[in-house]
Amino acid sequence: MGNRLLSILGLLIALVGIVFGGNLVLVIIGYVILGLEQMIKDKEESTASGMDEIIKEFFEDVQFNPNTHMLNVSDTNILLPKHDYCSGNRYVQGKYKGFSVAFCTIKLTD
């Protein structure tokens, strides 16, 4: 979501620069913001792929983002800090030393 906002902001600044008499400073600022957004996106993708390789090294029969997800966190006895909303992503299922395991990244917001 944040990356998308950076893209929109960069594009809007560049367009305003073009529409208002070709203001080169605004156009450059817009393109710099678009470039930063792309760099952030590339870094996130490379970090995720590196993490995928590490997971594959230690787990067998790995499935990334399987159709079935883990239980809802609120249905478990996991102690979590106070939060208003809980979301998960990067779901992984696999086997570790013969045992079925499932885990994901959990984001808590308050």
Please write the tens of the pLDDT for every residue from 12-59.
888 888 888 778 888 888 888 888 888 887 777 666 667 778 888 888
Answer for the pair 62, 28: CB distance below 8 angstroms, yes or no: no
In three-state secondary structure terms, 59 is: coil
pTM for this entry: 0.45
